[in-house]
Amino acid sequence: MMVSIGYLILFGMLGNSLFKLFRLPGLIGMLVVGIAIGPQGFNLLSDALLMVSGDIRKIALIIILLRAGLGLNRQAIQRIGKVAVTMSIIPVLAEGLVILGLAIVLLEFTFIQAGMLGFVVAAVSPAVIVPSMLRFIREKIGMKRNVPVLVLASASIDDVIAITMFSMFLSAALTQTSLAYFDVLMLPAAIILGILLGIIVGLFLAGIFKKFRIRDSKKVLILISVGIMMVSFTELIEDYIFIASLLGVMTLGLVIVERRSAVAARLAIKFDKVWVLAELFLFVLVGAVVDIEIALSVGLTGLVMIFIGLLARAAGVYIATLRTDYVWREKVFLCVAFVPKATVQAAIGSLPLMLGIAGGEIILAISVLAILVTAPLGAILIQFGEHTLLDKEEVLAE
């Protein structure tokens, strides 16, 4: 496995650098490298590494969400107000429900099968979105009306909604029952419990950091370890109660900012350095699990469904930003910022097939196709939007 890790790091860095050389997002290079050295290419990655790739990708996601939390503050979130709530809910429901309807018409899926497909595809990729938004915040790009903060705050809840809806439909498929009102109530409960978990753990760690003298490097390790344990704990009890642990992880970082702002600023710099390695593992391993043949098996139908879903999401963004002071360029950027899909689809797209649910192979194929199409497209559009849709200005005075 050590040789495989060496290949992953070396070729991943090379792909990242080459694509940046041509002014393209480096993550596309890492995805391409993953496909090239994975089972679909030269097969340079060991089976042992691929077996644990899911856990490694999850740890990388925890790292970037912790960094996202450390890059936010309560005042910035308060400035975007209730538009953050509408942006978190309306676009993902619009995309998921439209794809659900298309699956029933075009694929002759049942309502439950179509629901699983709709919401696994609707989930956005924080791993693609978050690093760019953090850089925008740092460089004051689009911060006149806190556009990057809105994207950061909305993306995490967007994913919670998509994953919870997918889980509800998956549970209904496994038990061969219809959706119950109790299942629907899981959604707000999961969000509230995730935020509460993050606040409780964050307050505890802030107290520890205040009382004991601990090196910043060790604080980073503590935060990563605690984030992993939070996610692992919630997975252990998910048969009894669902908690939005990834949202809790980001909330944990936000609490550290509120309680220990100076420490949070230093830790954010440390996390930027950790992310250099984490993103290599994340995007190369996402590329490695992509099966191009499966993606191509759904052909034009899959592409049509994905792009109509993105148009529905754009319509949801328009509705969510009605009666706000965002100008049209910023609204267009908000549409393109939520295009990328990768981590969630790679993590749960294969679950219906693994569990023997009818139509699982098509759900997996369209999930893989969504990664191949939207991850590079979204990354390019975000980079394009940075220069053409957003202004580089100072934050408005409070």
What token pair was written down for 207? 């107290």
Kindly report the pTM of this predicted structure: 0.86
d(CA 257, CA 268): 10
Contacts of 47 (CB under 8 A, 6+ apart): none
Per the CB < 8 A criterion, the answer to whether 224 and 44 are in contact is: no
Give me the helix-helix angle, 245-259 and 216-236, nearest 10°.
150
Partnered with residue 392 across adjacent β-strands are 141
Q: State how far the Cα of 394 lies from the Cα of 396, in Å rounded to an integer.
A: 6
Residue 285's contacts (CB-CB under 8 Å, 6 or more residues apart) are 8, 34, 50, 53, 56, 57
- C-alpha–C-alpha distance, residues 320 and 89, integer Å: 9
Is 389 in contact with 330 (CB distance < 8 Å)? yes
Residue 381 to residue 375: CA distance in whole angstroms: 10
How is residue 366 written in tokens? 């369209």
- Using 50, 70 and 90 to split pLDDT, how confident is the model at 202? very high
pLDDT digits (tens, 9 = 90+) for 90-135: 999 999 999 999 999 999 999 999 999 999 999 998 888 999 999 9
3-state secondary structure at position 77: helix
pLDDT band at 183 (very low <50, low <70, confident <90, very high): low
Of the candidates 372, 276, 389, the residue with the CA atom closest to the CA atom of residue 34? 372
Tell me: the pLDDT tens digits for 45-93? 999 999 999 899 889 989 999 999 998 877 778 778 789 889 999 999 9
- Look up residue 79 and give its two tokens: 């400035």
Lowest mean pLDDT among 254-258, 263-267, 393-397: 393-397
- Measured CA to CA, the distance from residue 46 to residue 76 in angstroms comes to 45
Identify the band that residue 34 occupies on the pLDDT scale cut at 50, 70 and 90: very high
Classify residue 328 as exposed, middle or buried by CB count within 10 Å of its CB (0-12, 13-18, 19+): exposed
Residue 211: is its pLDDT beyond 80? yes
CATH among 1.10.645.10, 1.10.3720.10, 3.40.50.2000, 1.20.1530.20 for 53-388: 1.20.1530.20
Handedness of CA 362, 127, 244, 228 (dihedral sign): positive
Residue 27 reports pLDDT greater than 60: yes
- Report the share of the chain in percent with pLDDT over 90: 68
More confident residue, 179 or 390: 390
Domain ranges across the chain? 53-388
pLDDT for 105: 96
Q: How many CA atoms lie within 13 A of 233 on its CB side?
A: 16
Q: What is the mean pLDDT of the chain?
A: 90
Q: What is the secondary structure of 343-373 as a DSSP string?
A: HHHHHHTTHHHHTT-TTHHHHHHHHHHHHHH
